[in-house]
Structure 1
Amino acid sequence: MKKTFLYFIAAFLCINAPIYAQENTKKQKVQIISENFLAENKIPGMAISISINNKLFFSEGFGYSNLKTKEKVKPNLTKFRIASISKTLTAVALAKLVDDKKIDFDASLYTYLPNYPKKNMILP
Protein backbone atom coordinates (compact mmCIF):
# COMPACT_ATOMS: atom_id res chain seq x y z
CA MET A 1 0.00 0.00 0.00
CA LYS A 2 2.78 2.45 0.94
CA LYS A 3 4.71 1.59 -2.24
CA THR A 4 1.63 2.19 -4.40
CA PHE A 5 1.03 5.53 -2.71
CA LEU A 6 4.69 6.53 -3.19
CA TYR A 7 4.55 5.54 -6.88
CA PHE A 8 1.38 7.60 -7.27
CA ILE A 9 3.01 10.65 -5.66
CA ALA A 10 6.16 10.23 -7.76
CA ALA A 11 4.11 9.93 -10.97
CA PHE A 12 2.03 12.99 -10.01
CA LEU A 13 5.15 15.05 -9.35
CA CYS A 14 6.78 13.94 -12.62
CA ILE A 15 3.69 14.83 -14.62
CA ASN A 16 3.18 18.19 -12.90
CA ALA A 17 6.85 19.16 -12.39
CA PRO A 18 6.95 21.39 -15.53
CA ILE A 19 3.87 23.30 -14.30
CA TYR A 20 5.39 23.91 -10.86
CA ALA A 21 8.76 24.82 -12.38
CA GLN A 22 7.08 27.32 -14.71
CA GLU A 23 5.15 28.91 -11.83
CA ASN A 24 8.30 29.15 -9.70
CA THR A 25 10.18 30.77 -12.61
CA LYS A 26 7.41 33.36 -13.01
CA LYS A 27 7.38 34.04 -9.27
CA GLN A 28 11.17 34.44 -9.24
CA LYS A 29 10.91 36.93 -12.13
CA VAL A 30 8.30 38.94 -10.21
CA GLN A 31 10.57 38.94 -7.14
CA ILE A 32 13.61 40.10 -9.11
CA ILE A 33 11.71 42.85 -10.94
CA SER A 34 10.12 44.01 -7.66
CA GLU A 35 13.41 44.08 -5.75
CA ASN A 36 15.09 46.01 -8.59
CA PHE A 37 12.21 48.50 -8.73
CA LEU A 38 12.42 49.00 -4.95
CA ALA A 39 16.17 49.65 -5.11
CA GLU A 40 16.16 51.84 -8.23
CA ASN A 41 13.36 54.09 -6.97
CA LYS A 42 14.57 54.17 -3.36
CA ILE A 43 11.17 53.07 -2.07
CA PRO A 44 11.14 51.97 1.59
CA GLY A 45 8.56 49.25 1.04
CA MET A 46 5.79 47.91 -1.16
CA ALA A 47 3.45 44.95 -1.46
CA ILE A 48 2.52 43.10 -4.62
CA SER A 49 -0.36 40.67 -5.04
CA ILE A 50 -1.14 39.05 -8.37
CA SER A 51 -4.29 37.12 -9.13
CA ILE A 52 -4.74 34.93 -12.22
CA ASN A 53 -8.20 33.62 -13.06
CA ASN A 54 -9.49 34.68 -9.64
CA LYS A 55 -6.81 32.67 -7.83
CA LEU A 56 -4.01 34.27 -5.84
CA PHE A 57 -0.81 33.55 -7.77
CA PHE A 58 1.67 35.74 -5.92
CA SER A 59 1.59 37.89 -2.80
CA GLU A 60 4.70 39.25 -1.17
CA GLY A 61 5.95 42.26 0.73
CA PHE A 62 9.23 43.98 -0.08
CA GLY A 63 11.19 46.32 2.14
CA TYR A 64 9.94 47.94 5.31
CA SER A 65 6.62 49.36 6.45
CA ASN A 66 8.48 51.24 9.20
CA LEU A 67 12.10 52.22 8.66
CA LYS A 68 12.71 53.13 12.32
CA THR A 69 11.58 49.77 13.71
CA LYS A 70 12.66 47.78 10.61
CA GLU A 71 9.18 46.24 10.44
CA LYS A 72 8.83 44.35 7.16
CA VAL A 73 5.92 44.83 4.75
CA LYS A 74 3.22 42.19 5.10
CA PRO A 75 0.84 42.23 2.10
CA ASN A 76 -2.20 41.19 4.13
CA LEU A 77 -1.59 43.57 7.06
CA THR A 78 0.44 46.62 6.02
CA LYS A 79 -1.59 49.75 5.30
CA PHE A 80 -0.27 52.19 2.71
CA ARG A 81 -1.22 55.81 2.16
CA ILE A 82 -2.35 56.02 -1.44
CA ALA A 83 -2.56 59.83 -1.72
CA SER A 84 -3.62 61.03 -5.18
CA ILE A 85 -3.09 57.70 -6.93
CA SER A 86 -6.78 56.93 -6.37
CA LYS A 87 -7.68 59.63 -8.91
CA THR A 88 -5.63 57.86 -11.57
CA LEU A 89 -7.11 54.47 -10.69
CA THR A 90 -10.63 55.90 -10.90
CA ALA A 91 -9.88 57.42 -14.32
CA VAL A 92 -8.51 54.12 -15.61
CA ALA A 93 -11.55 52.23 -14.29
CA LEU A 94 -13.93 54.70 -15.97
CA ALA A 95 -11.97 54.52 -19.24
CA LYS A 96 -12.26 50.72 -19.16
CA LEU A 97 -16.02 50.96 -18.58
CA VAL A 98 -16.34 53.37 -21.54
CA ASP A 99 -14.24 51.05 -23.76
CA ASP A 100 -16.44 48.10 -22.77
CA LYS A 101 -19.52 50.23 -23.56
CA LYS A 102 -20.84 49.73 -20.03
CA ILE A 103 -21.08 53.44 -19.29
CA ASP A 104 -21.85 56.48 -21.43
CA PHE A 105 -20.69 59.89 -20.23
CA ASP A 106 -23.45 61.56 -22.25
CA ALA A 107 -26.20 59.59 -20.49
CA SER A 108 -28.06 61.01 -17.51
CA LEU A 109 -26.84 60.17 -14.03
CA TYR A 110 -30.30 58.70 -13.41
CA THR A 111 -29.66 56.06 -16.08
CA TYR A 112 -27.19 54.46 -13.66
CA LEU A 113 -28.60 55.69 -10.33
CA PRO A 114 -32.38 55.90 -10.82
CA ASN A 115 -33.07 56.38 -7.10
CA TYR A 116 -30.60 59.23 -6.67
CA PRO A 117 -32.45 62.20 -5.11
CA LYS A 118 -33.51 64.80 -7.64
CA LYS A 119 -32.92 68.47 -6.93
CA ASN A 120 -35.72 70.95 -7.26
CA MET A 121 -34.55 73.22 -10.04
CA ILE A 122 -35.91 76.76 -9.97
CA LEU A 123 -35.74 78.16 -13.46
CA PRO A 124 -36.20 81.90 -14.16
Structure 2
Amino acid sequence: MNKLTPQNAEQEHMIQILLAKMQGIDIEYFQNEKWHNSSSGWLDLRFNYRIKSHELPITREMWAMIDEEWKWVAKDEEGWIYFYTDEPYISSSKYCWNVYEGDWSKSILAINADDIDWRKSLTRRPEGV
Protein backbone atom coordinates (compact mmCIF):
# COMPACT_ATOMS: atom_id res chain seq x y z
CA MET A 1 0.00 0.00 0.00
CA ASN A 2 1.25 3.46 -0.87
CA LYS A 3 1.84 6.01 1.84
CA LEU A 4 -1.26 8.14 2.36
CA THR A 5 -0.87 11.90 2.26
CA PRO A 6 -3.39 14.68 2.93
CA GLN A 7 -5.24 15.75 -0.20
CA ASN A 8 -6.53 19.12 1.01
CA ALA A 9 -6.38 21.60 3.91
CA GLU A 10 -9.19 19.89 5.82
CA GLN A 11 -7.37 16.56 5.80
CA GLU A 12 -4.09 18.21 6.83
CA HIS A 13 -5.91 19.93 9.72
CA MET A 14 -7.37 16.63 10.94
CA ILE A 15 -3.93 14.99 10.78
CA GLN A 16 -2.59 17.78 13.01
CA ILE A 17 -5.50 17.25 15.43
CA LEU A 18 -4.84 13.50 15.51
CA LEU A 19 -1.12 14.07 16.13
CA ALA A 20 -1.93 16.53 18.91
CA LYS A 21 -4.26 13.99 20.52
CA MET A 22 -1.64 11.23 20.27
CA GLN A 23 1.07 13.49 21.73
CA GLY A 24 -1.03 14.58 24.71
CA ILE A 25 -1.66 18.13 23.51
CA ASP A 26 -5.05 19.49 24.53
CA ILE A 27 -7.63 19.85 21.78
CA GLU A 28 -11.13 21.31 21.73
CA TYR A 29 -14.25 20.67 19.66
CA PHE A 30 -17.04 23.09 18.70
CA GLN A 31 -20.59 22.18 19.67
CA ASN A 32 -23.65 24.21 20.68
CA GLU A 33 -21.98 27.51 19.80
CA LYS A 34 -18.95 27.08 22.08
CA TRP A 35 -15.63 25.25 22.39
CA HIS A 36 -15.33 22.24 24.74
CA ASN A 37 -12.30 20.30 25.97
CA SER A 38 -11.97 16.98 24.19
CA SER A 39 -11.08 14.40 26.81
CA SER A 40 -12.28 11.28 25.03
CA GLY A 41 -9.96 9.06 23.04
CA TRP A 42 -11.94 9.36 19.81
CA LEU A 43 -12.62 12.03 17.21
CA ASP A 44 -15.97 12.62 15.51
CA LEU A 45 -15.58 13.91 11.96
CA ARG A 46 -18.85 15.84 12.30
CA PHE A 47 -17.23 18.27 14.76
CA ASN A 48 -14.76 21.06 14.17
CA TYR A 49 -11.58 20.66 16.22
CA ARG A 50 -8.72 22.96 17.16
CA ILE A 51 -5.56 22.68 19.21
CA LYS A 52 -6.23 24.42 22.51
CA SER A 53 -4.23 27.56 22.98
CA HIS A 54 -2.45 27.97 26.28
CA GLU A 55 -1.10 31.38 25.45
CA LEU A 56 -2.28 34.18 27.66
CA PRO A 57 -4.94 36.38 26.04
CA ILE A 58 -2.87 39.50 25.48
CA THR A 59 -3.69 41.25 22.22
CA ARG A 60 -1.14 42.95 19.99
CA GLU A 61 -2.72 46.25 21.04
CA MET A 62 -2.09 45.43 24.71
CA TRP A 63 1.50 44.39 23.96
CA ALA A 64 2.02 47.73 22.16
CA MET A 65 1.27 49.53 25.46
CA ILE A 66 3.73 47.38 27.44
CA ASP A 67 7.38 48.50 27.49
CA GLU A 68 9.44 46.59 24.92
CA GLU A 69 11.84 45.26 27.57
CA TRP A 70 9.14 42.76 28.64
CA LYS A 71 9.47 39.87 26.17
CA TRP A 72 7.66 37.07 28.00
CA VAL A 73 4.59 36.61 30.19
CA ALA A 74 3.41 33.58 32.19
CA LYS A 75 0.94 32.58 34.88
CA ASP A 76 2.07 30.93 38.12
CA GLU A 77 0.31 28.12 40.01
CA GLU A 78 -1.70 30.60 42.09
CA GLY A 79 -2.95 32.41 38.99
CA TRP A 80 -0.74 35.50 39.19
CA ILE A 81 0.53 36.87 35.88
CA TYR A 82 4.18 37.96 35.59
CA PHE A 83 6.17 39.64 32.82
CA TYR A 84 9.82 38.74 32.16
CA THR A 85 12.68 40.37 30.28
CA ASP A 86 14.29 36.97 29.57
CA GLU A 87 12.70 33.61 28.87
CA PRO A 88 11.70 32.03 32.20
CA TYR A 89 11.71 28.36 33.20
CA ILE A 90 9.63 26.42 35.71
CA SER A 91 11.47 26.62 39.03
CA SER A 92 12.73 23.59 40.91
CA SER A 93 9.93 24.12 43.44
CA LYS A 94 7.58 23.43 40.49
CA TYR A 95 4.96 26.06 41.35
CA CYS A 96 6.19 29.16 39.53
CA TRP A 97 8.35 30.52 36.73
CA ASN A 98 11.84 31.89 37.33
CA VAL A 99 14.67 33.50 35.33
CA TYR A 100 18.44 32.95 35.46
CA GLU A 101 19.08 36.58 34.63
CA GLY A 102 16.89 39.54 33.86
CA ASP A 103 13.94 41.09 35.60
CA TRP A 104 10.37 40.10 36.32
CA SER A 105 7.32 42.08 37.30
CA LYS A 106 3.87 41.18 38.54
CA SER A 107 1.23 42.23 36.03
CA ILE A 108 -1.40 44.83 36.80
CA LEU A 109 -3.43 43.84 33.72
CA ALA A 110 -6.81 42.21 34.25
CA ILE A 111 -6.28 39.02 32.23
CA ASN A 112 -8.73 36.13 32.37
CA ALA A 113 -6.44 33.10 32.42
CA ASP A 114 -8.67 30.81 34.48
CA ASP A 115 -8.84 28.05 31.83
CA ILE A 116 -5.12 28.12 31.05
CA ASP A 117 -2.77 25.58 32.64
CA TRP A 118 -0.05 27.65 34.30
CA ARG A 119 2.66 25.14 33.25
CA LYS A 120 1.78 25.76 29.58
CA SER A 121 1.07 29.49 29.85
CA LEU A 122 4.44 30.85 28.74
CA THR A 123 3.71 33.42 26.03
CA ARG A 124 6.25 35.31 23.96
CA ARG A 125 5.78 38.91 22.89
CA PRO A 126 4.69 38.92 19.22
CA GLU A 127 7.24 39.96 16.59
CA GLY A 128 7.05 43.57 15.58
CA VAL A 129 5.24 44.83 18.68
* Same-fold status (TM-score > 0.5): no
Higher relative contact order (CA 8 A, sep 6+): 2
Higher strand share: 2
**TM-score when scaled to structure 1?**
0.26
Higher helix share: 1
**TM-score when scaled to structure 2?**
0.25
Larger Rg over CA atoms: 1
